[in-house]
Chains A and B, each alone.
Chain A
């Protein structure tokens, strides 16, 4: 079974290293850009100056990022290895959700306010489509290999 972990503003802050350290939002936005080239567990702490809460996270915990900005998921399609935790962070002024299109829903975030994050770990290979249940024209895909 996939491991479900609920979003929280805390999580968003922990991830937005620079933000947590009081740097400008612009900087934290850049830091949250997903490291697409890296297979799985690129150490996100390495991307931020001086580390931060996430620097302590074990490198073994494979994770990747999707940023929600301008009413779009970026990247729209993300390919990850089995076991990867995908973290979505809302960088819009409008709330969004990350909602599985499967029936029954495999994952469904609560409404994410600005800066909130939601994480889901994909434990099985497959193609997982999702959308924002508030703005349903926003759609994205996670491909797990």
Chain B
């Protein structure tokens, strides 16, 4: 259920900006002094112009979705891209944390690719389970996996940050959750080996790397092993998608955050009678179920500063 607005320090105008942003998803991240800081794409971004390096996370665009929860996912993606273009800080690049398409159809990938291109940003992709419905994700990887290894996962360095892009939507096992698999875990251990603990790490994975709601499949079976390899680093930020809402967990120096979708909301875990599918709400309530979270992950601080803005009554 939507909470009452909890932002007494924000002006009405800022809240309206948040509302617009919230309806379209998208999160701008800045890295200042090697520490990622999440900021909304609205007016509050002005307060964070000191960042050396900014990037955008977009997720769960579900191009091809045709359900009642959003009759126009192209339109809402367009709106999200417009927000990115208007951001006061020009991001250096964009990451897409999966479910680019709804049904892995070539036409859906085409549309998504053409639309995302208009952002004019280098974009790094990882697949969601909707992108790998056929041929173990071959159509997705052929188009969006130029930089990936054989298994689909990869890493790169930018702005002083080491990015690790993981695939946890393939070879899913009966009764299980998301799955990384021993081969990928071995690669991850090797990829991180020898890196200085002071290197800021950003991990991308579609399904949450912690058990948000196992009864809904919202988690990853073997995430613990991955987090074990990551825990020696001073700053680790895990960016997930999949659940179409912002939820955060902090484990030591690892902060795990899920992202909003640009397509449709999903119910909060534990909502009685709900299922993990698209949440159908009246059109005029759609935006009220979305929102933004601003988090500052500050070096040497035990916990990040978080401000949630959930919009609508």
Chain A contacts to B: CB under 8 angstroms:
70-72, 92-95, 101, 110-111, 113-114, 129, 131, 133-139
Complex CA gap A135/B216 in Å reads 8
- Contact A70 B174, beta carbon cutoff 8 Å: no
B272 at the interface (CB under 8 A from A): no
Neighbour of B174 across the interface among A71, A72, A94, A131, CB < 8 A: A131
- Contact B134 A133, beta carbon cutoff 8 Å: no
Contacts of B104 in A (CB 8 A): 111
The closest CB in chain B to the CB of A97 belongs to B133
The residue in A94, A95, A129, A134 that gathers the most chain B C-beta atoms within 10 A of its C-beta is A94
Contacts of A137 in B (CB 8 A): 175-177, 214-217
Neighbour of A136 across the interface among B67, B103, B177, B276, CB < 8 A: B177
- Closest Cβ of chain B to A92, distance in Å, is 5
- Contact B134 A136, beta carbon cutoff 8 Å: no
Contacts of B130 in A (CB 8 A): 95, 134
Contacts of B275 in A (CB 8 A): 70-72, 92
**How many interface residues does chain B have, given as a range?**
20 to 34
Contacts of B278 in A (CB 8 A): 93-94
Complex CA gap A70/B276 in Å reads 8
The 8 closest A-B pairs by CB, nearest first: A93-B67, A70-B275, A131-B174, A111-B133, A137-B217, A136-B172, A93-B278, A101-B174
The residue in B69, B103, B215, B276 that gathers the most chain A C-beta atoms within 10 A of its C-beta is B276
Contacts of A114 in B (CB 8 A): 66-67
Chain B contacts to A: CB under 8 angstroms:
65-69, 102-104, 129-130, 133-134, 172-177, 214-217, 275-278, 280
The contact sample of 19 A-B pairs, CB cut-off 8 A, is: A71-B217, A71-B276, A92-B275, A93-B65, A101-B174, A111-B103, A113-B103, A129-B174, A131-B174, A131-B175, A133-B172, A136-B172, A136-B174, A136-B175, A136-B177, A136-B217, A137-B176, A137-B214, A139-B174
Neighbour of A139 across the interface among B129, B175, B214, CB < 8 A: B175
The closest CB in chain A to the CB of B215 belongs to A137
In the complex, the number of residue pairs spanning A and B with C-beta atoms less than 8 Å apart equals: 61
- Closest Cβ of chain A to B76, distance in Å, is 16
Given contacts A95-B130, A111-B103, A136-B217, 19 further A-B contacts (CB under 8 A): A71-B216, A71-B275, A71-B276, A71-B277, A92-B275, A93-B68, A93-B69, A93-B277, A93-B278, A93-B280, A94-B277, A95-B102, A95-B133, A111-B133, A134-B172, A135-B276, A137-B175, A137-B176, A138-B217
Q: Is the interface of B mostly helix, strand, loop or mixed?
A: loop
Contacts of A134 in B (CB 8 A): 129-130, 133, 172
Complex CA gap A134/B207 in Å reads 12
Complex CA gap A94/B65 in Å reads 9
The closest CB in chain B to the CB of A114 belongs to B67
- Closest Cβ of chain A to B264, distance in Å, is 9
- Contact A92 B277, beta carbon cutoff 8 Å: yes
- Contact A135 B217, beta carbon cutoff 8 Å: yes
Q: A95-B130, A111-B104 are in contact. Are A136 and B277 (CB under 8 A)?
A: no
Neighbour of B277 across the interface among A70, A129, A131, A139, CB < 8 A: A70
The closest CB in chain A to the CB of B104 belongs to A111
Contacts of A101 in B (CB 8 A): 174
Contacts of A95 in B (CB 8 A): 102-103, 130, 133
Complex CA gap A92/B236 in Å reads 36
The residue in A72, A113, A114 that gathers the most chain B C-beta atoms within 10 A of its C-beta is A113
Contacts of B177 in A (CB 8 A): 136-137
The residue in B69, B172, B278 that gathers the most chain A C-beta atoms within 10 A of its C-beta is B172
- Closest Cβ of chain B to A101, distance in Å, is 5
Complex CA gap A94/B68 in Å reads 12
The closest CB in chain A to the CB of B278 belongs to A93
